[in-house]
Amino acid sequence: MRTASVSLDLDNLWAYLKTHGDPSWESRPSFLATAVPRLLDVFGEHRLTTTVFVVGADAERDDGAQAVRDVVAAGHEVANHSWGHEPWLHRYSRAELEAELTRAEDALVAAGAPRPVGFRGPGYSVTPALLEILAARGYRYDASTLPTWIGPLARAYHNRTAPSGAAEDLFGGFGKVRSPNIPFRWGATGLVELPVTTMPLLRVPIHGAYLLQLHQISPRLARGYFRAALRLCLLTGTAPSLLLHPTDVLSGAEAPGMEFFPGMAVPGAEKVALLGWVLSFLRRHFDVVGTGAHVDRLALLRERRTELCG
């Protein structure tokens, strides 16, 4: 059976508010104690081992450290999602990038996770300097690209209720549609890139927030959309890498201040049911693993092909 992967960006409530320009983020409100057990229950129910990209600043707080311990105890990979979750890493100097990675690594290890070998930039933010630093620090893969053309549209949607200039370059430009929708290596660094899969050919996102936005219009539309995406993945030989967020299982009341975010009008129970259906449908057609295991399988496949050619 073909391989697919599932990952979770464990973005916390404060991180969403910070990106949106809401000053209340400074009190660091959190929904981890609600979201993490619920997500782990769903993963356990579907017998999935995933990868959880954790923000270092959360790993330094009690509920975040507990989340890391629970994720590790359940057998999931913990990866680096930066320390401060600022989706503009392309503005950072090389020294700032190094400090950001190092502080996050230290926080994750102190919370009980193995040293991370995978990274995803907040807001799909990645630069050549960041990739070079990741490779030098022994990372095996990055998962920071979203190959779609709708970045500016998503940014406009986000900023309709945000303070002026809150995230003026969030999500990138139309040029991202040219990025590969399949795993590849970044030049001389040798670092594997595992993109967040978008619908083959159309290059529109298929992950949780977009499905939930469609679900608000019509549950049948959301499921039909995801079915079509997976069928195109099968037809084109694309091994999907599906991205999830805590908001995929939380109601609006459980994430106060996030009314601006897609799908927050959907009740939590409906979200859990939709996620369960998505994971079940994905598992029907693919062997589903975490992103680190997905990269491992790609390396093993290359080795086998090399042996056959030799």
In whole angstroms, what is the distance from residue 298 CA to residue 310 CA? Answer: 18
- Residue 43 in contact with residue 76, Cβ under 8 Å? yes
Tokens 């000053």 belong to: 23
- 124 conformational bin, left if phi > 0, alpha if psi -120 to 50, beta if neither: left
Q: 251: how many CB neighbours lie within 10 A of its CB?
A: 16
How many folded domains does the chain comprise?
1
Helix ranges restricted to H, the chain = 13-19, 32-45, 56-59, 62-73, 94-110, 128-136, 151-159, 208-217, 219-236, 268-285, 291-309
Running DSSP on this structure, what letter comes out for residue 12?
-
In whole angstroms, what is the distance from residue 271 CA to residue 251 CA? Answer: 8
Give this prediction's pTM.
0.93
Q: Which pLDDT belongs to residue 307?
A: 38
With a CB cutoff of 8 Å and minimum separation 6, the contacts of 19 are: 85, 87, 122, 123, 166, 167, 170
Containing structural domain, residue 147: 3-309
In whole angstroms, what is the distance from residue 173 CA to residue 149 CA? Answer: 7
Angstrom distances, CA of residue 124 to CA of 32, 133, 201: 22, 17, 20
Q: Which pLDDT belongs to residue 150?
A: 75
As beta bridge partners, residue 242 has 6
Q: What CATH number has the domain bearing residue 81? A: 3.20.20.370
pLDDT under 70 in the chain at which residues? 151-175, 301-310
In whole angstroms, what is the distance from residue 307 CA to residue 310 CA? Answer: 5
Coil vs helix vs strand at 186: strand
